């Protein structure tokens, strides 16, 4: 189970790197990457401002670096995770969480849930993400 979580995290990291290489920092019309305004998640005007969380710092590279224990920049995502978690059942929690994400957001996310408290370190350029543990299940959304 732990290896599949690490594999999923590695996949997300690779996607972020590839997106950065292929599409640059988004933005601008015409030309090469991103198209439209702002690029990345959210489209024009739909982007949220980054929220400061004590465990995170923001550097000039526009990256978030932090710990997994309750790292969350979105009250809405945290609420969805809390509603979706089924005690001691990460599989059912993930299915429920995925339904919430599909029906309640226009964004595309990568989500996974696992048994117990899952601790890991991560770095991301996404503005919206959330990791939350409840009832012996940890769910992550990036």
List pLDDT tens digits, range 7-61.
455 555 545 544 554 445 444 444 444 444 554 454 444 444 444 444 443 334 4
CA distances to 60, 116, 138 from 88, in Å: 40, 8, 10
Q: What pLDDT sits at residue 119? A: 75
Q: What pLDDT sits at residue 125? A: 81
Q: Where are the domains of the chain?
A: 70-141
Residue that has been written with the tokens 């959304």 in this structure: 141
User: In degrees rounded to 5, what are phi and psi of residue 103?
Assistant: -90, -25
Q: What pLDDT sits at residue 124? A: 80
Nearest to 130 by CA among 69, 56, 45, 61: 69
Q: What pLDDT sits at residue 75? A: 93
Q: Does domain 70-141 have CATH number 3.20.20?
A: no
Q: What pLDDT sits at residue 127? A: 87
pLDDT in tens, 70-126: 589 999 999 999 999 999 999 999 999 999 999 999 899 999 999 987 777 778 888
């Amino acid at each position: 189970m732990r290896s599949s979580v690490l594999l999923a995290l590695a996949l997300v990291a690779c996607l972020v790197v590839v997106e950065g290489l292929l599409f640059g920092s988004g933005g601008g019309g015409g030309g090469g990457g991103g198209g439209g305004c702002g690029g990345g998640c959210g489209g024009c005007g739909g982007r949220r401002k980054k929220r400061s969380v004590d465990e995170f710092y923001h550097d000039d590279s526009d990256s978030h670096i932090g710990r997994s224990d309750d790292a969350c920049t979105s009250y809405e995502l945290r609420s969805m995770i809390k509603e979706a978690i089924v005690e001691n059942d990460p599989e059912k929690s993930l299915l429920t969480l995925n339904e919430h994400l599909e029906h309640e957001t226009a964004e595309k996310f990568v989500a996974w849930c696992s048994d117990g408290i899952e601790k890991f370190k991560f770095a991301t350029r996404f503005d919206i993400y959330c990791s939350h543990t409840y009832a012996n299940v940890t769910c992550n959304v990036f």
